[in-house]
Amino acid sequence: MKKVVIRTDASTEIGSGHVIRCLTIAHLLKKHDIDVYFMMQEVPGNLIDYVAKQGFRNITTLESADLYIIDHYNIDEGWEQKLRVYTKKIMVIDDLANRSHDCDLLLDQNVVPQFETRYEGLISAHSVRLLGPSYLIMRDEFIKARQNMPDRTGKVKKILVFMGGTDPTDETSKILRALQETTTKFETIHVVVGNGNVHKEYIQAICTERGFYYHCQIDYMADLMLQVDFSIGAGGSTTWERCYVGLPSSSTIVADNQRIATEYAAELGAVWNIGWHENITVATYIDLLNKLSEDTSFLKQMSVKGLQLTASKGQPNPWLHEILEMIK
């Protein structure tokens, strides 16, 4: 049986996105009878127990494997070169294009200016490059949801709030205040947090008090996205999940690594960029909420653009075929 080790991390500082997308990869590889292990550090906000509940063991020392998958902003070619005595192949998942890699395959699912060429000089000319949102890492629930999308009219009656698994800048609390102060009325409001959100008990209490639906560390995000008309979200990989199911949304930039992709997605009309989190106040979110009823055609076109940008090349998750070919 083939063996794959995934080196990634989650923490209160870096969030949970790396681990969550690697879990998607792990589950799909497992369906092909591949043994998958994670290698994660025990840092505050880690998801080691959550990954274990998903059926994957965490290892703490390097082991021999057919493939190492690295999804970590603090790892570059120096560590990757040391891996060569433990593995035949190395795959890197990156979003930044800011350091060199020693890898056989690189996956970057983001749309940014010159995304097809920005890894020139950073990886070997022989490395396979899977670049852009046609190579999105998508869970089965999103693939099914895309096949069952509602008609997006641009009218907003139901809202989803999800600012990432840890929400380190506590945007959710700002939004909850804005929802209390806005004069715009909504039929339904869903608020999602991750286990790593240090404010989750407070958020749950507010949701209970106001009759909002509260969700923590869920595995049915795609279903929620089908139920609502607009999402208030953060930049990062969830941006492309929203686009994938045609859900119009706003993005708050909560980390430097989200800035370029969020700004470019907004330029393309796929998302509403409301800016850097330090410049975003409760009043900003109130203004956003009040504008949702003003231009339904704008939101409807955002849905169409998101769907166009995230169309796969052939079958969904085409990167899976590349991995299987690499280690066969």
The active-site residue out of 18, 72, 190, 277 is 18
120 labeled binding residue: no
Closest by CA position to 191, among listed 237, 154, 159:
159
99 labeled binding residue: no
The Cβ-side half-sphere exposure at 303, using a 13 Å CA radius, reads 24
Neighbours of 60 (CB within 10 A): 9
Q: Is 295 exposed, middle or buried (0-12, 13-18, 19+ CB in 10 A)?
A: exposed
Give the DSSP per-residue string, 237-262. Answer: HHHHHHHHTT--EEEEE-SGGGHHHH
Q: Is 276 exposed, middle or buried (0-12, 13-18, 19+ CB in 10 A)?
A: middle
- Alpha-helical (H) ranges within the chain are 17-31, 48-53, 77-83, 140-147, 171-181, 200-210, 221-227, 237-244, 259-267, 282-291, 296-309, 319-327
DSSP state of 317: -
**Alpha-carbon torsion, ordered 79, 111, 142, 24, to 10 deg:** 0
Instruction: Please say if 190 is a catalytic residue.
Output: no
DSSP state of 137: -
| Amino acid (1-letter code) at residue 113 | P
End-to-end CA distance of the chain: 10
Determine contact, residues 214/204, Cβ cutoff 8 Å.
Answer: yes
**Which residues neighbour 120 within 8 Å (Cβ) at sequence distance 6 or greater?**
none
Determine contact, residues 281/170, Cβ cutoff 8 Å.
Answer: no
Binding positions for substrate: 139, 241
Binding positions: 139, 241
The residues annotated as belonging to the active site are: 18
